Amino acid sequence: MKILVIGGGGREHALVWKLAGDSRRPQVFCAPGNAGTSRIAVPVQVAAEDSDGLFAWAQAQRPDLTVIGPEVPLCDGLADRFNAAGLRVFGPSQAAARLEGSKAFSKDVMLAAGVPTARADFFTAYEPAAAFMRKVGAPIVIKADGLAAGKGVTVCATVGEAEAALKAALVQRVFGDAGARVLVEECLQGEEVSVLALVDGEHVVLLDSAQDHKRVFDRDAGPNTGGMGAYSPAPVFTDSWRAWVLEQVFGRMLAELRRRAIPYKGVLYAGLMMTAAGPKVLEFNVRFGDPETQAILPRIEGDLIPALEACVDGTLTPAHLRWKHEACVCVVMAAGGYPGAYRKGAPIVGLDAAEALPGVNVFHAGTAMRDGRVVTAGGRVLGVTALGGNLAQAMENAYAAVGKISFEGAHYRRDIAARAVTRKTM
């Protein structure tokens, strides 16, 4: 069996690791991959955004299954192109991927479906956006409508911060066309949780919950990033909420998409805020989360390929997923300066020592090989991930592994999962 995984980050390394360990022992290819994936998958020197190159490779090699990791190729319609050529692909259509590609479309579907979400409005010019923002007041959230590599959302504590965020998007155009329209949204209060689900067009199976840590510094300080770490499961998301979200969020969204003749197959990720009034949807993503995937996949018992194939075939059942009782924590080690400017090419030391620890996986995100050495090649460099009998043990194991690794300028949060551990021990 041949499997192609598209993407080159930590999420893709985790997917490659899980798929390569399947009982069928498939041959896994990764395009373009990184220094970590190259140890367990065949590198394909084609960028994840190069739809023509990926399609040509797949036409020639005919993989049995393709798993599309990042959102950009999904929003560009790569899954449609593969399906039309008779290539089995795990990932939603371009029409369905608009749930992530357009905040306006996603909000419209949520409101039509009756899914609980924040109040919001959209603007293409600064003055009316600023007037609406001042009317609502701070705190408030400013979101670029299109894809902005995880950096298009600004949570503004003051009116001044919101004015600056609106000017950055609508006047300075720091997000390009992705920020030509912005959503000005009510700021929901509570604790965030990530709930991912596998979907086969009709049936939905929830994965265990996770919680991401977006802010760059401890205690949720500093600017938003692509994610500085994650853990699973999230204790704030109880079993009673699980059943409610399955029906009121995923069930309603998929029913509304079907009403619009947009079938959904793949993974659907709901970012939820656990408010005093219950869960409300912050956003939807149409792919596995990063770094949530690194904390979720090690907790799956047994094979993942049958579940992905069932999504393609429309035969998904809850029996396709079994979960370990262990918890998992992923700590992102980032390059100095991230999420701002950072340098590349710093040698990374201690990877083998970290992975020698029980229950530890070091998932590469921004790495490359140079002269036989692993070096930094991105802002988020590594996702140091560990299992444990509970969240406290998993957290301890993850940070023990982090302590084995070093590279120039490395920085990381020291409180990944701390809030959940404190809650569990109170």
Residue 390 confidence (pLDDT): 97
Residues 315 and 228 in one domain: yes
Query: Is residue 108 a part of any domain in this protein?
Result: no
**What's the chain's length in residues?**
426
User: What integer best gives the mean pLDDT of the chain?
Assistant: 95
> What range does the domain containing 275 cover?
191-320
Residues 76 and 33 in one domain: yes
Query: Is residue 229 a part of any domain in this protein?
Result: yes
- In 191-318, alpha helices (H): 239-245, 252-259, 292-296, 305-313
Structure tokens at 160: 């001044």
Q: Is the pLDDT of residue 147 over 90?
A: no
What is the rounded distance in angstroms from the CA atom of residue 313 to the CA atom of residue 1? 17
CATH number of the domain where residue 157 is located? 3.30.1490.20
Q: At 140, give phi and psi (nearest 5°).
A: -150, 160
Q: Of the candidates 255, 288, 320, which is a domain's last residue? A: 320
Q: Is the pLDDT of residue 49 over 90?
A: yes
CATH number of the domain where residue 421 is located? 3.90.600.10
What is the rounded distance in angstroms from the CA atom of residue 401 to the CA atom of residue 358? 10
Q: Is the pLDDT of residue 425 over 90?
A: no
Residues 150 and 231 in one domain: no
Query: Is residue 109 a part of any domain in this protein?
Result: no
Residues 200 and 310 in one domain: yes
Burial label for 358, CB within 10 Å (0-12, 13-18, 19+), is exposed
Residues 35 and 89 in one domain: yes
Residues 77 and 125 in one domain: no
Rg of the chain, C-alpha, whole Å:
20
Question: What contacts 365, CB < 8 A, 6 or more positions away?
Answer: 9, 10, 13, 34, 290, 332, 378, 380, 381, 382, 383
Query: Is residue 387 a part of any domain in this protein?
Result: yes
Structure confidence at residue 149 as a pLDDT band (50, 70, 90) = confident
Residue 62 confidence (pLDDT): 98
Structure confidence at residue 32 as a pLDDT band (50, 70, 90) = very high
Return the minimum-mean-pLDDT range out of 13-22, 71-80, 184-193, 387-396: 184-193
Question: What contacts 159, CB < 8 A, 6 or more positions away?
Answer: 133, 134, 137, 138
Residues 198 and 145 in one domain: no
Structure tokens at 266: 């793949």
What is the rounded distance in angstroms from the CA atom of residue 161 to the CA atom of residue 140? 9
| Whether the bond into 26 is cis, omega within 30 of 0 | no
How many domains is the chain built from? Answer: 4
Work out the percent of the chain whose per-residue pLDDT is above 70.
99
Candidates 92, 25, 78; CA nearest to 47 is 78
Mean pLDDT for 199-216 is 96
Q: Is the pLDDT of residue 150 over 80?
A: no
**DSSP letters of 51-96?**
HHHHHHHHHHH--SEEEE-SHHHHHTTHHHHHHHTT--EES--HHH
For the stretch 243-295, pLDDT in tens is 999 999 999 999 999 999 999 999 999 999 999 999 999 999 999 999 999 99
Place of tokens 């293409």: 124
Q: Of the candidates 259, 291, 320, which is a domain's last residue? A: 320
CB atoms within 10 A of CB 77: 16
Query: Is residue 88 a part of any domain in this protein?
Result: yes
Residue 50 confidence (pLDDT): 97
Residues 28 and 130 in one domain: no
Residue 8 confidence (pLDDT): 97
Residue 153 confidence (pLDDT): 86
Residue 426 confidence (pLDDT): 38
Residues 293 and 219 in one domain: yes
Residues 215 and 287 in one domain: yes
Residues 11 and 39 in one domain: yes
Q: Is the pLDDT of residue 423 over 90?
A: no
What is the rounded distance in angstroms from the CA atom of residue 210 to the CA atom of residue 269? 11
Residue 178 confidence (pLDDT): 86
CATH number of the domain where residue 250 is located? 3.30.470.20
Residue 11 confidence (pLDDT): 98
Please tell me which of 126-135, 218-227, 376-385 the model is most confident about, judged by mean pLDDT.
Answer: 376-385
Structure tokens at 234: 């999230």
CATH number of the domain where residue 32 is located? 3.40.50.20
CA 170 to chain centre: 26
Higher pLDDT, 46 or 226: 46
Query: Is residue 46 a part of any domain in this protein?
Result: yes
Residues 297 and 348 in one domain: no
For the stretch 303-362, pLDDT in tens is 999 999 999 999 999 999 999 999 999 999 999 999 999 999 999 999 999 999 999 999
Structure confidence at residue 424 as a pLDDT band (50, 70, 90) = low
For the stretch 165-202, pLDDT in tens is 999 999 999 899 888 989 999 899 999 999 999 999 99
